[in-house]
Structure formats: C-alpha cells, structure tokens
Amino acid sequence: DAGITQSPRHKVTETGTPVTLRCHQTENHRYMYWYRQDPGHGLRLIHYSYGVKDTDKGEVSDGYSVSRSKTEDFLLTLESATSSQTSVYFCAISESGQIYGYTFGSGTRLTVV
C-alpha cells in the first residue's frame, strides 16, 4: 500500500513475551490508527494518534500500548502477549481524521502460542 508500511508482516511469539509492531508512513498524515481484525468481528480500534505524542484509547485497548515519537512512526506494543491477542493487525492513516480518506497498511499477522 502506497505510503504506509507495516512490519513485520508475520510474527509468531510465545505467551508472556513483549511484542512491538511498527507502522511507518511517508504521507505526513496527522492521524494514525491501530486496528485488529478477528473472525466474527469488524475491524476494531485499539489505539489512535492525532499527532506526535498525542494518543488515545480505542474500544479494545486493554493489553496494548502505543507510542508516536515521530510523525511517520506509530508503534503498537503488547507488553505481555496472550493467546487472545492472536489476530491480524492493521494500521491506518488519515490526513483529516474523518471517516473518508483512511488508507490501510497490508497488515501484520500475529500468532501467540
């Protein structure tokens, strides 16, 4: 996806270990979002950022933290991974923060064993 890169694309980790997922954008957009996608659910918002060092919780934020020290990078950290955090994680960016204009990354498939 042009302008937005997620890394890693795939990761397998053990329960109880810390994990950090990275979202990098080259669009200089103000807003960045982390979603998770699971069977039986629509995309659910974990955390979002509306500027450098400005972040807020979404609907499923428990067990996750985020950091944004630069406009281009938004990090999602699972402090102590659990099996319930096995999911596909998507980052999205938006210039305006409005519903229109979201661009999604290609996702990170995380498996916690």
Partner 1 sequence: GESVGLHLPTLSVQEGDNSIINCAYSNSASDYFIWYKQESGKGPQFIIDIRSNMDKRQGQRVTVLLNKTVKHLSLQIAATQPGDSAVYFCAEGPGRDDKIIFGKGTRLHILP
Instruction: Quote the least distance from Cβ 10 to partner 1, whole Å.
Output: 10
For residue 100, state whether it binds partner 1 (rule: CB under 8 A).
yes
Q: Which is nearer to partner 1, 42 or 113 (CB)?
A: 42
CA distances from 105 to 37, 71, 75, 91, 108 (A): 13, 16, 13, 5, 9
Q: Does 106 bind partner 1 (CB under 8 A)?
A: yes
CB-wise, 81 or 94, nearer to partner 1? 94
Instruction: Say whether residue 37 binds partner 1 (CB under 8 A).
Output: yes
| 90 lies in the binding site for partner 1 (CB under 8 A) | yes
Cα Rg, the chain, nearest whole Å: 13
Residue 50 touches partner 1, criterion: CB under 8 A = no
Q: How far is the CB of 17 from partner 1 (least distance, A)?
A: 22
40 binds partner 1 (CB under 8 A): yes
Give me the residues that bind partner 1 (CB under 8 A), please.
1, 37-45, 48, 58-59, 88, 90, 92, 97-100, 102, 104-107, 109
